[in-house]
Amino acid sequence: MKSFTKLNVLGLSVSLAGAIIFALHTKHIQQRSLGSRLAEMMVKTANILPEKIDQKFIRKQIKSNRREYHIPNGMIIDSRSEFFYIRGMKIFKIIPDEKISDRRVLYLHGGGYINQPQPFHWWFLDRLVQETGMVFLVPIYPKAPEFSHEEAYALIEALYEQQFDNTEGDLVIMGDSAGGGLSLGFTQMLRNEAKPLPKALILISPWLDATLSHPAIPEYQRKDPMLGRKNLSKIGSMWAGNAAPDDYKVSPVYGSVNGLPCISIFVGTREICLPDVRELQSRLEDSKAPYNYCEYPMMNHNFPLSPIKEGMRARSRIAEILKRT
């Protein structure tokens, strides 16, 4: 019995020592919060994108996306949510308890152009709506593999025109991941067609190139716990539809940055999107275009949407940008 107890004590001591080393390494070597590292470990097992994109997956995804989308219970805590439709597209309206601004935010959610919003989207939006006192509009736009960017652009444009008239031009477009790429490409289209532009753009970990051809991407692929180049390329081809994968509406990194409203970018250094985001930042700098660039060391894809210390700091900065723009 004494030997068994000693083994238990030894095991607990080893586990405790391991936990302490893990925490110290996270804080002092990686210089990030323990929560961010634990979140990264969880993301690795979440399988947000499929391991294999085949006909079985395509049939399953089309069936899933055809079902009417509802906000998961309990994800909108302090805000009110309503919804309406434009040409069959469902749009959620997230409303603060105390409206302190007439500005509205058109939020294009991420999900690799194939997934509907996840619970973390709604947690993030609920907090941001309360912090800014602004109304957020979240369209459930058409997704691949059944649809391409063409159907999504047409419906988002119809929503944008309606809301632009209602807000007298005081409208911000914001998006994360695939929604970040969609936000930039859509705004480039508005500029190219000489249509009224939003007040500002806010991009969170934007997916800017469906071809994923940047030579530095393999290096960041090894660091990214969420996204894989092979599957993203297949999804990008579906999203492109009849267009070339390097068309700016599909891959806005290839579009011109001239004449756009101020762009604020949030990105981490442990994500596959970083090389193209840095390319965008370089082009904005060369063009002397207005922008804010916020790169966070050791952070993963879409970290501002996570309830971790670094994510909450980024969210606070996003709220500040929205209020002062």
Q: How many CB atoms lie within 10 A of CB 17?
A: 10
Q: Which residues pair with 86 in a beta bridge?
A: 89
Burial (0-12, 13-18, 19+ Cβ within 10 Å), 111: middle
* Count of CA atoms in the C-beta half-sphere (13 A) of 113: 34
The C-alpha atoms of residue 281 and residue 265 are separated, in whole angstroms, by 8
User: Tens-digit pLDDT profile for the chain (325 aa)?
Assistant: 555 565 455 444 443 344 344 344 354 455 678 888 787 787 666 656 666 788 898 999 999 999 999 999 989 899 999 999 999 999 999 999 888 888 999 999 999 999 999 999 999 999 999 999 999 999 999 999 999 999 999 999 999 999 987 766 689 999 999 999 999 999 999 999 999 999 999 999 999 999 999 999 999 988 888 888 888 999 999 999 999 999 999 999 999 999 999 999 999 999 999 999 999 999 999 999 999 999 999 999 999 999 999 999 999 999 999 999 8
Strand order in 135-139's β-sheet?
80-86, 89-95, 135-139, 104-108, 171-176, 200-204, 262-270, 291-300
Write down the domain spans for the chain: 48-324
Phi, then psi, of 98 in degrees rounded to 5: -125, 105
Amino acid at 120: F
Assign 248 to helix, strand or coil: coil
CB crowding 39-63: b at 16 or more within 10 Å, else e: bbeebeeeeebbeebeeebbeebee
The C-alpha atoms of residue 226 and residue 302 are separated, in whole angstroms, by 10
CATH class of residue range 48-324: alpha beta
Q: Kindly tell me the sign of the dihedral angle through the C-alpha atoms of 179, 181, 187, 192.
A: negative
The alpha-helical segments, DSSP class H, found in 149-245 are 149-167, 178-192, 217-221, 229-240
Closest CA to 114 of 35, 8, 34, 210: 210
Assign 306 to helix, strand or coil: coil
Tokens of 275: 């090389």
Helix (H), strand (E), coil (C) string for 260-288: CCEEEEEEEEECCCHHHHHHHHHHHHHCC
Assign 257 to helix, strand or coil: coil
